[in-house]
Structure 1
């Protein structure tokens, strides 16, 4: 006979462990299964090894989804402040970086240990959480009100199944599209997945900028209706850095990415510079605000290398416009191998925003990155993992 539990959680990552710990402390007997050899692999490499575990500016408008309102309930019921309080209770010291990003002072291992300790604490509340790694799942079925899972030659069953296996980003850690296959099998739709928070690649005609590999500058980057003011980094393959990673989630193939290299500059700044410093050259002027090699490359592309005094105002106005709206048309991205998360996923139309459960099949829940909810760069995706895991746990 299969071993019985109150719930089976597939995936021992951020969302899965959060859900299991909360449910266990509600007195539930929970089994967590993961094919990886250890829990929390993605947590361990996050934030440069220090885990950007949440963002104090978390709000629904920081998330992408076909239904932008879906995440509101979970995010409101389990907030960034709630997770910070949990971190504090475990004695983990942390610091805030730019834009509300919170990181461990020590190691990301502290967050994994926190989650495992929360699972272990279930026993004091009449529950139990059993985390089993190295268990490759070979079959999942639903019959007679029970979900039956086969993994590693063993069989388990429970009236509730929580799918927290994420998306295919960072496949070297074992990430796959398993959650999507399972969703389709149980009659749920899937919004086409795509790499998100990922570097973009440029075609051969942008070779000049590839020669600037390693150079970064503060810019405003725009794709579609989304715009972010952070650093952009030129790479040997194209564009990266926080500003580019942010807009990559909104970018679609064939669309341009527009960069304002001088977002602080006002209208007419270059023509004013001609009046104030007529003997100044554009490369030297740009180098006051941008790395020298980038300044030279931009001036060369604009064909403006001489002194400003010799340039017509109309030409300078055109240069201002170009520098404020430089269009790059990427030919792709660096794919799931370099994507921090996956956009798209299990369609929210088939899920309850309160419980993360499938509307047509009570007991089946999808949480975390598996769902079509994708946060901005900077701790938002972890907050979604905590919030969605907590929400599902309330229904187990």
Structure 2
């Protein structure tokens, strides 16, 4: 069969592009090797889909060219997607930091997108593998498990390498390389950080402990929860900083952001000199962590007997605890893939490959990665929408 557009991938970006192209009267085929569409939508946000964020801004996206995403994000905004949710009758609520979630199941979002594709006349092939994409007389030939298909345009919306158990592969990058498009190095993003054995010896007994903290790497910092695990550190603040962290760099953890720990410890010494350090620290962090900090500091005995210099040292430890990750948990648990198709090779308004007319890349496969909290879904909606206007 001949199609106007073949879209590779039935995720957020692919379905969005399909809806927009179908509404323009285009003959659209969406192909995905998964058995169901929108699998990452379904599992996101604890099953409630953190579908966008009220604070969309270019500085909250990582890319070799952070301003590349501006055009698509400005032309199809978070408010535009919220309007679609409202029109579909999907109730939602705001959590911390502008994050928007469904009141009910994330499957409502998938159902809305599938319904919109059906109404736009889009054909959806699920459980269908794609072997390759090549040039053809009328545009492109896509070799599929159902035979060769020809289309004037191809939209690559295959996502990145994150969460391979959901079927993620690097196929989109292979298509880019096949047509001579450059890639920016890919690596796991929004992923827990791991530590060497000597660190794990004390971290593992703290597994399950969570604390609100500020985590900093270089010039970037995040104020959210940190969670100790059997493999190292996780939690929103750590996932966020993982996108900025590179091997060989230390991270700084402030366990008492916005508080003057030196003053608080001096006050505790004056008011309750018989207290031990872990008791005073236990008013700031969970008890198990307070005990560990006491052990690390080497401060023993009642506070009345602890020199002021030692209290200052403890305060510095609490406010600027330097830790050295050795790696991350990798694509297995990473929420996104950093890097991807180099934006220098793409038109920011249409998502088209500049040197390959008719070829488009949208969503996670592109070198645009958002912060945790709905930013990556908004990039998927916006980039998919942009391509859908022109394919």
Measured against the shorter chain, the TM-score band is over 0.9
User: Deviations for 1:145-187, whole angstroms, at most 9, x for unmatched residues?
Assistant: 5011010141111111100000010000110011111111111
Residue 220 of structure 1 pairs with residue 218 of structure 2? no
State which of 264, 273, 278 in structure 2 corresponds to 1:278: 273
Distance in 2 of aligned mates of 1:144 and 1:295: 69
Cα separation, 1, equivalents of 2:134 and 2:161: 22
Contact 1:22 1:118 in 2 (8 A): no
1:351 is matched with 346
Q: Structure 2: any 5+ residue segments left out of the alignment?
A: none
Unaligned runs of 5+ in 1: 123-127
Q: Is this contact kept in 1: 2:3–2:29, CA < 8 A?
A: yes
CA displacement at 1:13 relative to structure 2: 0.4
Residue 132 of structure 1 corresponds to 125
Report the 3-state secondary structure (helix = DSSP H, G, I; strand = E; otherwise coil) of the residue aligned with 2:188: strand
For residue 57 of structure 2, what is the aligned residue in structure 1? Answer: 59
Selected match of 1:373 from 365, 368, 377: 368
User: How far apart are residue 258 of structure 1 and its match?
Assistant: 1.0
Q: What CA distance in whole angstroms lies between the structure 1 residues aligned with 2:267 and 2:357?
A: 66
SS at match of 2:122: strand
Q: Secondary structure at the match of 1:140?
A: strand
Once the two structures are TM-superposed, the CA of residue 203 in structure 1 deviates from its matched residue by: 0.8
1:30 shift after superposition: 0.7
Indicate the SS of the match to 1:236.
coil
- Cα distance in 2 between the residues matched to 1:154 and 1:144: 17
Q: Partners in 1 of 2:158 and 2:152 — Cα distance? A: 19
Aligned to 2:17: 19
Asked if the contact 2:261–2:318 (Cα under 8 Å) also holds between the matched residues in 1, the reply is no
Give the paired residue count: 389
Equivalent in the alignment of 1:253? 247
CA positional deviation for 1:117: 1.2
Q: Secondary structure at the match of 1:5?
A: strand
Picking from 322, 326, 331, the partner of 1:331 is 326
SS in 2 for 1:91: coil
* Paired position in structure 2 for 1:6: 4
Question: 1:306: how far off?
Answer: 2.1
Q: What is the CA distance between 1:281 and its match in structure 2? A: 2.2
Map of 2:147 onto structure 1? 154
Q: 1:141 aligns with which of 94, 117, 134?
A: 134
1:260 CA displacement: 0.4
Q: Distance in 1 between matches of 2:344 and 2:272?
A: 60
User: Is residue 187 of structure 2 the alignment partner of residue 187 of structure 1?
Assistant: no
Distance (whole Å) between structure 1 residues aligned to residue 390 and residue 272 of structure 2: 68
Q: Distance in 1 between matches of 2:195 and 2:335?
A: 19
Structure 2 SS opposite 1:160: strand
Separation in 2, partners of 1:331, 1:105: 38
- 1:230 partner SS: strand
Q: In 2, are the aligned partners of 1:283 and 1:305 still within 8 Å (CA)?
A: no
Task: Give 1:143 shift.
Answer: 3.2
Question: Is the 2:33–2:128 contact (alpha carbons within 8 Å) kept by the matching residues of 1?
Answer: yes
Residues 11-54 of structure 1 deviation map (CA, whole Å, 9 limit, x = unaligned)? 00000001100111111111101111111111111111111111
Matches of 1:289 and 1:272, distance apart in 2: 14
Aligned residue in 2 for 1:174: 167
SS in 2 for 1:107: coil
Measure, in 2, the Cα distance between the counterparts of 1:349 and 1:277: 62
Classify the secondary structure of the residue corresponding to 1:69. Answer: helix
Q: Deviations over 1:122-150 (max 9, x none)?
A: 1xxxxx31011111001210133501101
Structure 1 CA distance, aligned partners of 2:118 and 2:371? 31
- State the partner residue of 2:38: 40
Quick check: 1:120 aligned with 2:118? yes
Residue in 2 that maps onto 1:262: 256
Deviation at 1:375, TM superposition (A): 0.7
Does structure 2 retain, via aligned residues, the 8 Å contact 1:191–1:347? yes
Q: State the distance in 2 between where 1:20 and 1:153 align.
A: 20
Distance 1:383 1:233 in 2: 26
Whether the 8 Å contact between 2:136 and 2:150 is mirrored in structure 1 is: no
